[in-house]
Structure 1
Amino acid sequence: MNKTPLNDRHYALKARMTDYAGWEMPLQYEGIIEEVLAVRGKVGMFDVSHMGEVLIRGRGSGGFLNWLLSHEVAKGDPDLISYAIICNDEGGVVDDCLVYTIAPESYLLIVNAANKEKDLVHIAESMEMYKERYPEREHSIEVLDETDHYALIAVQGPESLSVMLSMAEPLGLGEKGSEALRALEVFHHIQVEVPGHKRNMMISRTGYTGERGYEVFCPAEVAATIWDELLKKGVVPCGLGARDILRLEAGLPLYGHELSAEINPLEGGMSFAVDFDHEFRGRNKMKANTTRELIALLGEEREIPREGYPVFVSGFEVGFITSGGFSPTLRKGIALALVKADSVGLEEEVRVMIRNRGVPFKVVAPPFVKSVNFKYAD
């Protein structure tokens, strides 16, 4: 089983460990509910070093990525981060990813741990297709798996900026570090040279919780020092259990649940990440293969809807739960469900079959928990 550079820190904190996509990862420390509330109320941190890092660089790499991904990511902004979808030929999802522009014609893709090997095969196949499709374009593209060289620590919560400001010196941000952190916009990053390492540290204003947050990509060798400094500052360590509830409260998709080879981005609620005005692999069939939609469901009881439970409207089965759980913030059951398009509207009631009983849920607009500390897209 793979281990992150922070594995010994998790054992020292007596974390409950689990196998996730072949990685030994912390599921929880003090408890999932306590960790969720820490992120909602103050600040927490996550080791997400299991995520895959794929570097794509060289002449023509920007044009290739613009064709590989569901919208243009090579826009000339040296600090930009883009959320994008890697699609198959049918318009289904191979993976979703974040794309860091780290230099001209140099991009770092952050992909799901369980999908990395599949992604690398798909990227190589797509590159050959791209070269055949556009023989007139200059190509000198290199694809590198950088996963083992990086660690990733996510600092999330309403007090995350205060914590990051206090970390300016330990992170080596220099005299203007605090100013740079305050000015850092959502989906942008700054780079910091790390003495003795050829790879820079990257600090981004991103996250997977619906709260204000930052993610620190650093050379694997310095991750433990950063983690220890964050612990000294009172940041609560959080596991994957809390991370999943937080992303569900925020209405965010998870590959294998709301997105998959059979669930395209339009069906999975990610239409904002698709630009049909530019050509990309899978574009032509995506619209034709869209027959369902993602809805958000809020319960009035503590009954918990689980993945796969059927959803009914007026006695007819219209879909199924893709993700569900108990919201510690709302103290109610919440879920995302994939249903037939136009089968139900906002504020209308559906029934979810839980233990042979049709439990009522109301269709609501996500997110379930909207934080005042998070800047939402227009």
Structure 2
Amino acid sequence: MMKTPPGPTLLGFDVYLVGSILVAVAAMAVMLAIYAAITVRDPMTKRVKALNERREQLKAGIVTASARKRTSIVHRSQTTDQIRGFLESLKVLQDSQVSVVQQKLAQAGIRKKEWAVAVILGRMVGPILFGLLGAAIFYWSDTFPEWSSFKRFAGFAVTLVLGYKGPDLFVQNLVNKRTVAIRKGLPDALDLLVICAEAGLTVDAAFGRVARELGRAYPELGDEFSLTAIELAFLTERRKAFENLAYRVDLDSVKGVVTTMIQTERYGTPLASALRVLSAEFRNERMMRAEEKAARLPAIMTIPLILFILPVLFIVILGPAACSITDSLINRKT
């Protein structure tokens, strides 16, 4: 039988195999892009629904006198109730732990606080599942036969830590993304608040107007301002609405805005001038942050420059000269 000649290789890898893998990845990416374009949905629909539910809850809390009836009006999930009962039976559910997780969920944009028990359950179940997976990979199978016992134990320990910290890392990632999005739009929102205050609008009307104007550009910030406007209209204490805004956003700038709003509500200080000063400070802070990133850019680009740009540049510059020298030497030998 005749053997098929091996294909060309590059750095020890089969060029045909690598090309086939890249073509498959590109085809999957195109199919995913087409699917995402076909199934695109309006992101504001879900936000408006959540805000309407919050409005109905606040209205029910004011209209209904009985505390038992208030809690029955608020929607509760049967699944989370079962999880809560299971954790309470194991004596592992603490009120302080639940309150911390609820604040993280609120900062991540998840309005249903009852899902905090699901995160706590994930902390308990995650190490068991990931531990079994790590034991199957590192001890029960021959996936890494050349690894020593220390490497196997280290890999098993990493899977356990990932299982325990996985839910927290997922929620914290959502919090960080939402915080960055809110930080970008906060100076523009304060400028619009200044304009609304100078135009004579009330605070709740100003928050609602800013939420409508910035809802498309900064949906996270528009969501928070819309919810604050609803709470200002329905809560008996306006201070509580501002404190809820600081509770839901993990950002010192928002806490400064909340403190300013509370002081203006209590002492009657001019709102427009205070917000104008805060807006200028936040814009300067954003500019300094951009300058800091620009200053780090040369150090970050050093490694890509050495690995990818300089070799190609040398090939383009020295390639023709090397080819001409090689041709001249071959012609001289002949």
**TM band (smaller chain):** under 0.3
Query: TM-score under structure 1 normalisation?
Result: 0.24
**Is the radius of gyration larger for structure 1 or structure 2?**
2
Q: Which has the higher helix share?
A: 2
